């Protein structure tokens, strides 16, 4: 930024950084503050498709926007889903010297194919950073809880204090000293993430026609969203990189 966007004075100085880590400026003439604008971005079709997959749009809605058939779109979407790694990005969280990490765990209901075929998304989020440290898609039983526990990196499992809503399946998998069944008052970070998922992932909305017909597509779409969600969190807190 070379001039103030309000009074156009060149007499500006740096004034810390905003919440998102961008450079903040202050004008010595009008005393107002501003953040430097990013240059205009021209999106290619693939870039736009990647952004659309992170919002609450069904594949048919995306096909209508691009004016293509669903049959043309699905293979390209699956290719994008498969590009992300199975392990979620965690920055330096696994290498942190903190002796204890507070992790919140919860599960939310969805379905594949029909509502009489429920599928549960199990998630674990680290309270301090908001990063999703583990997830599992399966049934709401002991096997599902075990799948969630094993999806969390070993370095985090060793120092994790896990807060849950008291579901019995957690107690059968987590160690007694590690498991803290404190109820929803201690899983507010997790409940907020559940709300974000239902707002931004159409296949997880309670009453929807945008559900998955394939279990594998359901899992890939959720993995794609959680992977990019963690990247967003790491961009907000670059010290974790």
Buried b (16+ CB within 10 A) or exposed e, 107-134: bbebbbeeeeeebbbbbbbbbebbbbbb
Would you state the pLDDT for residue 183?
86
Check whether residue 168 and residue 229 sit in a common domain: yes
Contact by Cβ (8 Å): 156, 101: yes
pLDDT digits (tens, 9 = 90+) for 192-230: 999 999 999 989 988 888 888 899 999 999 999 999 999
- 62 phi and psi, to 5 degrees? -65, -40
Check whether residue 21 and residue 53 sit in a common domain: no
Check whether residue 122 and residue 62 sit in a common domain: no
Check whether residue 26 and residue 50 sit in a common domain: no
Work out the angle between the directed axes of helices 70-81 and 215-236 (0-180°, nearest 10): 50
Task: Identify whether 86 is part of a domain.
Answer: no
- Residue 52 burial class via C-beta count within 10 angstroms: exposed 0-12, middle 13-18, buried 19 and up: middle
Strands (E), 33-139: 33-35, 101-111, 118-126, 132-138
Contact by Cβ (8 Å): 133, 240: no
- Residue 170 burial class via C-beta count within 10 angstroms: exposed 0-12, middle 13-18, buried 19 and up: buried
Would you state the pLDDT for residue 89?
93
Check whether residue 203 and residue 189 sit in a common domain: yes
Strand arrangement of the beta sheet that strand 33-35 belongs to: 12-17, 23-27, 33-35
Task: Identify whether 88 is part of a domain.
Answer: no
Check whether residue 2 and residue 63 sit in a common domain: no
What's the token pair of residue 66?
């691009």
> What is the number of structural domains in the chain?
3
Domain that holds residue 223: 93-240
First to last CA, the chain: 26
8 φ/ψ sector (left φ>0, alpha ψ -120 to 50, else beta): left
pLDDT digits (tens, 9 = 90+) for 126-159: 999 999 999 999 999 999 999 999 999 999 999 9
pLDDT digits (tens, 9 = 90+) for 159-174: 999 999 889 999 889 8
């Amino acid at each position: 930024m070379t001039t103030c966007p309000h009074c156009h004075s060149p007499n500006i100085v740096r004034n810390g950084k905003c919440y998102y880590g961008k450079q903040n400026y202050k004008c010595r003439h009008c005393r107002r503050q501003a953040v430097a604008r990013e240059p205009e971005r021209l999106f290619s079709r693939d870039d736009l498709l990647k952004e659309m997959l992170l919002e609450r749009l069904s594949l048919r809605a995306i096909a209508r926007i691009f004016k293509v058939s669903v049959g043309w779109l699905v293979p390209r979407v699956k290719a994008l889903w498969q590009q992300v790694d199975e392990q979620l990005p965690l920055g330096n969280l696994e290498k942190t010297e903190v002796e204890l990490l507070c992790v919140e765990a919860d599960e939310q209901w969805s379905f594949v194919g029909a509502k009489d075929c429920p599928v549960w998304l199990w998630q674990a989020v680290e309270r301090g950073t908001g990063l999703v440290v583990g997830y599992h898609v399966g049934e709401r039983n002991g096997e599902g809880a075990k799948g969630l526990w094993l999806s969390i990196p070993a370095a985090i499992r060793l120092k994790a204090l896990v807060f849950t809503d008291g579901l019995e399946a957690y107690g059968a998998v987590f160690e007694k000293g590690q498991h803290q069944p404190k109820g929803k008052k201690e899983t507010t970070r997790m409940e907020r993430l559940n709300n974000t998922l239902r707002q931004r992932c159409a296949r997880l909305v309670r009453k929807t026609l945008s559900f998955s017909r394939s279990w594998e597509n359901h899992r890939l779409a959720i993995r794609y969203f959680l992977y990019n969600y963690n990247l967003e969190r790491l961009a907000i807190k670059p010290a974790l990189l």
